A and B are shown apart, each in its own frame.
Chain A
Amino acid sequence: MNGFDWNAAGDVLPLVLRGFEVTLLATVLGTLVAAVLGLAVAVAGRAPSRFVTVPVRAVMEFIRSTPLLVQLVGAAAFFTSVEPLTIGIVVLGIHYAAYTSEVYRAGIDGVPKGQWEACRALSLSPRRTWQAVVLPQAVRKVLPALGNYAISMFKETPFLAVITVQEMVFEARRYGADHFAYTEAFTLAGLVFLVASYPTSLLMRKLEKRLGH
Chain B
Amino acid sequence: MATEPLPLQKTAAAAPEDAAGTDALVRFDRVVKRYGDHVVLDELDFSVRRGEHVTLIGPSGSGKTTILRLLMTLEKVSGGVIWVDGAPLSHVRTPDGGLKPAGEKHLREARKKIGMVFQQFNLFPNMKVLQNITEAPISVLGMDRDEAESRARELLDLVGLAGKIDAHPSQLSGGQQQRVAIARALAMRPEILLLDEVTSALDPELVAGVLDLLSDIARTTDITMLCVTHEMNFARDVSEKVLMFDAGRVVEAGPPEKIFTAPEHERTRDFLDAVL
Contact = CB atoms under 8 A, between A and B. Distances in A.
Q: Do A and B originate from a single complex?
A: yes
A58 interface: no
A115 B184 CA distance: 14
B125 interface: yes
A123 B118 contact: no
B108 interface: yes
Chain B, interface size: which category? Answer: 20 to 34
Contact of A121 (B104, B116, B123): B116
Interface residues of A, number: 18
A128 B134 CA distance: 13
Interface string A115-128: 10110111111101
22 contacts: A115-B122, A115-B124, A117-B74, A117-B118, A117-B122, A118-B122, A118-B123, A121-B116, A121-B118, A122-B136, A122-B184, A122-B185, A122-B188, A123-B140, A123-B188, A124-B135, A124-B140, A126-B104, A128-B135, A132-B139, A133-B124, A137-B125
Nearest to A118: B122
A112 B118 CA distance: 13
Contact of A125 (B72, B126, B139): B139
B73 interface: yes
B78 interface: no
B112 interface: yes
Contacts of A122: 115, 135-136, 140, 184-185, 188
A10 interface: no
Given A118-B124, A123-B112, A125-B140, 7 more contacts: A120-B73, A121-B116, A122-B115, A122-B188, A123-B109, A123-B188, A136-B126
A132 B124 CA distance: 9
Interface of A is mostly: helix
A107 to B, nearest CB: 13
Contacts of A115: 122, 124
Contacts of A117: 72, 74, 118, 122
B208 to A, nearest CB: 25
A136 B115 CA distance: 24
Interface string B185-204: 10010000000000000000
B93 interface: no
Interface of A: 112, 114-115, 117-118, 120-126, 128, 132-133, 136-137, 140
Interface in B107-137: 108-109, 111-112, 114-116, 118, 120, 122-127, 135-136
A114 B125 contact: no
Given A132-B135, A132-B139, A121 B124 contact: no
Nearest to B194: A121
Given A124-B140, A136-B126, A114 B120 contact: yes
A15 to B, nearest CB: 46
Given A123-B108, A123-B136, A124-B139, A114 B72 contact: no
Interface string B42-56: 000000000000000
Contacts of B136: 122-124
Nearest to B187: A122
B38 to A, nearest CB: 20
Given A128-B139, A132-B139, A121 B111 contact: yes
Interface string B131-161: 0000110011000000000000000000000
A118 B118 CA distance: 8
A86 B115 CA distance: 51
